[in-house]
Chain A
Amino acid sequence: MTNSWVDIRNANIVLSMGGNSAEAHPVGFRWVMQAKERSDAILISIDPRYNRTTAVADYHAWIRTGTDIAFLGGLISYLIESDRYNREYVEAYTDAAHLVREGFEFHDGLFTGYDEARHQYDKATWNFDLDEQGFARRDETLQHPRCVFQLMRRHYSRYSVEMVERICGMPQAKVLQLWDLLAQSAAPDKTMTILYALGWTQHSVGAQMIRTGAMVQLLLGNMGMPGGGVNALRGHSNIQGLTDIGLLSNLLTGYMTLPAAGAQDYRGYIQEKVRQPLLPNQVSYWKYYERFFVSTMKAFYGDAATVENDWCYHWLPKLSEPLYDVLYAVNDMTKGTMTGAICQGFNILAAFPNKAKVLDGLSKLRYLVIMDPLANETGEFWKNHGEFNDVDPSQIQTTVFRLPTSCFAEDDGSITNSSRWLQWHHRAVPPPGEAKTDNAILAGLFQRLQKLYQEEGGAFPEPILNLTWEYSDPAHPAAAELAQEYNGRALADIEDQGRIIRRKGELLNDFGDLRADGSTSCGCWIYSGAWTEQGNMMDRRDNSDPYDIGVTLGWAWAWPLNRRILYNRASARPDGTPWDPNRALIWWSGERWVGADVPDYPIAAAPEEDIKPFILSESGTGHFFASEWLGEGPFPEHYEPLESPIPNNPLHPQNPLAYHNPVARVFAEDRDTFGTFEEFPYAATTYRLTEHFHYWTTHVLLNAIVQPEKFVEIGEVLAGELGIAAGEKVRVRSKRGHIDAVAVVTKRLRPLQVDGRTVHQVGIPIHWGFTGVAKKAHLTNTLTPFVGDGNTQTPEFKSFLVNVEKL
């Protein structure tokens, strides 16, 4: 989230789209209700299903799954053409005035540079027109035909209300009603928050959906505002933290990236990552990349990392693909090129798309290690569970180890919620039986490996032999020690302008202390400040809110630098006064920035210096134009899901290359696993229930009692056509397999009119499997397609095709 759970109460308009927080985040949702009660905020719910968020919404609309870019793109056009955007904000704080270089074009669904064979773009033209000094040229009047504002205006001019109706299946009058409501937040004293979750991410165009939401918020002047922002509610408890710490194939800690294979030279790697300002006088904080990087390498490799060996740069593995995500790994497993896998608290058989493929992949491994508190499906992939997992164990040669871990109640440490708060928790009891903490198990594995490499030698042992391991109990690194390690320490006295600011050995205060000369060590730069010389900041419990604006700086600790609302400089006008006096967050006192939050800005920079508020971006502005950062193009475009219920993309009916996301990755092995709407006519979407959490709570008696059995939601009209009555058993099929479930016949789903066709949508909860105490069931991901978003490879769990039959 750019903002926080409590901050939702400051909104005048809450747009719930791509999420259903009333059911998925019930306690967080209280802040939506607070907004309604405190300030008469209106809640707008746009979803394929009428859900429990919809039930308390003031306005709602059904939308065809996977078409949110069309609705939001149309909104962008509506806001511009009807002059209902925050002009002052857009001029001062965004890239609207930047000129884009000649050569960049968009034609019939494709941007310049498409390579049909590789399904990738050459992005050379996707950039700004730079002057001799390397700064972006601007037209402050926003009239130049090559300025971002005019290019954006032209791009979305195709998203008329008629087109939005045709794509989304939402009647024009409804579309216009919602656009009119959303446009109200263009006023400086009105803010809108966008709440989204996996309903936006889990599409082949997921990242671009989120970006379209961000563009709307920039136009309306809602970024950085209390009650504004683009708020990823997220699904799992600490997925924010795991991502911050970089447990993704291509990341290091703190959103630094691992080098590509071509980056053979350390200097070249750093120069590529260091981002110089694109406008004069801007911060462009990534210019300090080397400080973050060197400090991380010192944390990992200690004295072995020296300036002479480029801080062990070549000890890092290098990438030959943009990502080796889970789909990539499973695909390699099925080809027989993988030997082993370690699943730490991740039930991949249940959680990945196309269960049959995952099963095939696991069956070809030589070894699989499960670290989990629960006896889950992945650990038993080799076991015959009748129709729900119909395998022959004698044919599966995988050795499977199942190691019992503690759960949260039995371990100390911090987890990061979606408001970016690192909250410390304390162990209550020991784990059951012989179970151990994850730290103890990881240490047990690593120390044994290290010993083998000492005794036997082997492939490239240096990083293994030199990894820092300065823990008081080497067999069980303590959470406190690890937290101090990622917070960082001074390895020598640190000076700033001739004054020693940190003595050798002291914990760092924040990432401003970091140095690129090896004199600081810091495992995760954005977490620097979490455990300082003042102690464990994550365990603080002062819940006071002195400005009564929902900001509790003394509760736990938020990254970065304990800031609670990102980009909060933009909550004030260019002159330093708040846009809305009743929503003042930070302001210029005449000497410095002060207020309720930690300023996301150089603290003493006067408004006249014209330092723009988005200090991580190269020009200090919020970007409508994404340059080369996303795979599909600088402006989001609607493309149909890989499995679409209509025969073409209504925006580009004549161009088959622009039917689906042109940069979606489909493995050759999977080409035949996609169905057509002739064979599988209904649009399906998966979702979660209040009573269950993924595949955990089917092991929990109370939850198994309240939601005991797998069901699917089918609209009344479709049920009538198929002769299905409520409570009857149905079989849902996709090209990849089938599941059986009880039919819930409902008014919550209804047929939509899409481009002259009637499209029925089917809702499928993800829960239930073949282990645990709930009624056994087929895994929902038997049905889902093996394709990911064009940037992140997040699987398209939310839009695919099925057929339904009565059993």
Chain B
Amino acid sequence: MSVRVSRRQFLKFGAAGLGASSMAMMGFAPDQALASVRHFKLSGAKVSRNICTYCSVGCGMLLYARGDGAINSHDHIFHVEGDPDHPVSRGSLCPRGAGVLDFIRSDSRVRYPQVREPGTDEWKRISWDDALERIVRMMKDDRDRNFETHDEEGHLVNRWMTTAMVAASACTNETAYLTQKITRALGILKLDNQARV
């Protein structure tokens, strides 16, 4: 018995759950289907090795991205999977890690600097220069006004107690080190991270 099917019908059959190869072995194959296999979607991707930043296990992640940065060719990550070489995770990801693409591409990602002015009810978009210059002005005014060179007992303490900083648990060690350098140079002591939460 021979059944003639188009390539489209064949793929539909395949998607319904039967292995295409076993169908072909039964003599049940479209005329030219095997000659025009669709490209594997990851074959043209750039692969980057990364480490999941959800929890502290540090599972290996492979990020598959397309786009070379040329005009009209925007880089974007379209697939994430576990790194099979990783000695702890050995290719696995948990329900959080496996869904991380929706984090990277979340609608909640902030895309440009914004400011909320005192007493107002809205965000306004501003430029990076405006944002950084305004922030730095407020920081310096506060530091110059409230810097303590000596405590009440006359000890030399050189500290800035009126601005606090909390640092990000998903940041790199290199960012953490830069944060440590800068905050201590400014005299900040109210410095903390998520170790407690």
Q: How far is the CB of A121 from chain B (nearest CB, A)?
A: 22
Query: A393 to B48, Cβ gap below 8 A?
Result: no
Query: A463 to B187, Cβ gap below 8 A?
Result: yes
Q: Mark B99-139, 1 if CB is under 8 A from A, else 0.
A: 11011101111111111111111010000100111111111
Interchain CB contact (< 8 A) of B132 among A249, A375, A434, A444: A444
Interchain CB contact (< 8 A) of B110 among A339, A375, A416: A375
Query: A402 to B56, Cβ gap below 8 A?
Result: no
A-B contact count (CB 8 A): 484
Contacts of B92 in A (CB 8 A): 27, 30
Query: A340 to B142, Cβ gap below 8 A?
Result: yes
Contacts of A692 in B (CB 8 A): 96
The CA of A401 and the CA of B171, in the complex, are separated in Å by 20
The interface on chain B, measured as residues whose beta carbon lies within 8 A of the other chain's beta carbons, has a size of: 117
Q: Does A504 contact B (CB under 8 A)?
A: no
In chain A, positions 424-440 with a C-beta closer than 8 Å to chain B are 425-430, 432-439
Query: B175 to A793, Cβ gap below 8 A?
Result: no
Select from chain A the residue with minimum beta-carbon distance to B75.
A429
Interchain CB contact (< 8 A) of A467 among B102, B107, B116, B181: B181
Q: Mark B175-186, 1 if CB is under 8 A from A, else 0.
A: 111111111111
The interface on chain A, measured as residues whose beta carbon lies within 8 A of the other chain's beta carbons, has a size of: 170
Q: Which of A4, A245, A773 has the most CB of B within 10 A?
A: A245
Does more than half of chain B's interface fall in helix, strand or loop, or is it mixed?
mixed
Select from chain A the residue with minimum beta-carbon distance to B69.
A430
Query: A326 to B166, Cβ gap below 8 A?
Result: yes
Contacts of B65 in A (CB 8 A): 428-429
Query: B190 to A328, Cβ gap below 8 A?
Result: yes
Contacts of B164 in A (CB 8 A): 329, 333, 338, 340-342
Contacts of B51 in A (CB 8 A): 237, 408, 415, 417, 423, 425
Query: B156 to A314, Cβ gap below 8 A?
Result: yes
Q: How far is the CB of B190 from chain A (nearest CB, A)?
A: 4
Q: Mark B51-92, 1 if CB is under 8 A from A, else 0.
A: 111111111100101010100000111000000011111101
Q: Does B147 contact A (CB under 8 A)?
A: yes
Select from chain B the residue with minimum beta-carbon distance to A465.
B185
Known contacts being A338-B163, A429-B65, A696-B103, is A483 close to B57, with CB within 8 Å? no
Query: B167 to A242, Cβ gap below 8 A?
Result: yes
Q: How far is the CB of B75 from chain A (nearest CB, A)?
A: 4
Q: Does B196 contact A (CB under 8 A)?
A: yes
Contacts of A237 in B (CB 8 A): 51-56, 58, 169-170
Query: B142 to A442, Cβ gap below 8 A?
Result: no
Contacts of B102 in A (CB 8 A): 700-703
Known contacts being A28-B57, A249-B191, A345-B168, is A435 close to B111, with CB within 8 Å? yes
Q: Does A20 contact B (CB under 8 A)?
A: no
Contacts of A485 in B (CB 8 A): 177
Contacts of B2 in A (CB 8 A): none
Select from chain B the residue with minimum beta-carbon distance to A551.
B87
Q: Does B29 contact A (CB under 8 A)?
A: no
Task: List the 9 closest A-B pairs by CB distance, nearest first.
Answer: A345-B168, A433-B111, A413-B172, A417-B58, A236-B169, A702-B99, A459-B147, A317-B159, A404-B110
In the complex, besides A237-B52, A404-B110, 8 extra interface pairs with C-beta distance below 8 angstroms are A241-B172, A318-B159, A325-B196, A402-B116, A423-B60, A445-B182, A460-B158, A692-B96
